[in-house]
Amino acid sequence: MELYNYIKSLHLIFVITWFAGLFYIVRLFVYQIEANEKPSPEREILLNQYKIMTYRLWYIITWPSAVLATIFALWLLHLMPEWLQMPWMQVKLGFVVLLFAYHFKCHQIYKQLQNDAFRYSSNFMRLWNEGATIILFAVVFLVILKNAFNWIYGVIGIFLFSILIMLGFKFYKRIREKNKS
């Protein structure tokens, strides 16, 4: 049981640092996209700095955290194989698959921005940043509530939470546009 607690603690630590990396990398994408709209030489100075920052965040924190969180998760599942039969764990693993899809899409965006290919707007990136938040909320509630989780209320809750995020995004966008005027 002591080994289990150490492995679980390490899993949780690396999940936290993984999410921190995902949250911050997309903010850096926003800044990088907005820096591309600046006049020279400010644009070049900022873009070079953001490339360094995103590289370090992505390869020193985010990727290693994702790998280590996965290794410790697999170790936990090896110690507790009966979890794979539990509905809450199956749904959680579905969200983990979504999280990896989100991570790989962020990697694709990272590579594009490192090559000065700006395919998304800063507003899109602000909205994209909320994807990890929704996954985080879903996973935390699943893990904490487990079998007591009421699926109907859970789905409604995630849906309402997503709507609140969208409304907050629109409100923030209006404030930004007013401040530009």
Confidence of residue 150 (pLDDT cuts 50, 70, 90): low
Higher per-residue pLDDT: 149 or 91: 91
Residues in binding site for heme: 11, 92
Q: In the chain, where do the E strands start and end?
A: none
* DSSP category for residue 82: G
* pTM recorded for the entire structure: 0.86
**What's the whole-number mean pLDDT along residues 138-155?**
72
Residues in binding site: 11, 92
User: Cα(139)–Cα(22) distance, rounded to whole angstroms?
Assistant: 15
pLDDT in tens, 32-46: 999 999 999 999 999
Question: Quick one: tokens of 142?
Answer: 């699943």
Pair 12, 140: CB distance under 8 Å:
no
* DSSP category for residue 150: -
pLDDT in tens, 45-77: 999 999 999 999 999 999 999 999 999 999 999
**What's the whole-number mean pLDDT along residues 121-129?**
91
Grouping H, G, I as helix, E, B as strand and the rest as coil, residue 116 is coil
pLDDT in tens, 81-90: 999 999 889 8
The per-residue pLDDT for 152 is 61
**What's the whole-number mean pLDDT along residues 151-161?**
71
